[in-house]
Amino acid sequence: MRFYADQASVYAANARSAPSRNLDAFLKRLPSGARVLELGCGDGRDSEAMLAQGFDVDATDGVAAMATQAEARLGRSVRVMRFDELDEEQAYDGVWANASLLHAPIPALPGVLERIFRALKPGGFHAASYKLGEGEGRDELGRYFNFLSGEALQAAYRQSAAWEILSLQRQVGGDYAGGRRPWGAITVRRPG
């Protein structure tokens, strides 16, 4: 969190302007005007795309400086909230977490996923992307990541709640430092 607090303006200035590549597939699963929670909205680019398509978006970020960057982009308030502070119940049709839950410590991830499950309405969808790997660690910038294999990622979801796992797409993607690595994009549903 310290990295994002210290680098918020630089991070936002260097971020891509296009929405995340998995966003459209997620939004197609939701009803028109659906209420969507974005966890870790960063500079707000995905929230901006969702708002432009008529979705009711609750944008959040765990770092106040990043929330300020998103507010400037979106022209609206962004809630400062860590993943473990999510306490809504059956409030959202969808929960979007692009490249954010990968910062949750491995032991804490099932609890966070349980909170997301409770926050979704029955039949609601959750999508997230993670850097795939083994174990956990910090990158060259000092950021913590829960580098999970695809199998360990699915196990964390199964351990947390009665998720219906719809897909785990393995992709190659970039990272903030300019490298390329394997990613996993998971889509799950709260049965309803």
> Tens digit of pLDDT for each residue in 19-57?
899 999 999 999 999 999 999 999 999 999 999 999 999
pTM of the model: 0.92
Topology of the domain comprising 2-189: Rossmann fold (3.40.50)
Calculate the CA dihedral of residues 71, 128, 153, 15 and round it to 10 degrees.
-60
> Tens digit of pLDDT for each residue in 173-189?
877 667 788 999 999 99
pLDDT at 5 over 60: no
- Tokens 């785990």 locate to 168
Q: How confident is the model at residue 124 (pLDDT cuts 50, 70, 90)?
A: very high
Domain ranges of the chain: 2-189
Question: How far apart are the C-alpha atoms of 73 and 69, rounded to whole Å?
Answer: 7
Give the pLDDT confidence score for residue 1 in this predicted structure. 58
Question: How far apart are the C-alpha atoms of 170 and 192, rounded to whole Å?
Answer: 27
Percentage of the chain with pLDDT > 90? 80
Comparing 12-21, 57-66, 134-143, 158-167, the range with the smallest average pLDDT is 12-21
The DSSP letter of residue 177 is: T
> Tens digit of pLDDT for each residue in 81-101?
999 999 999 999 999 999 999
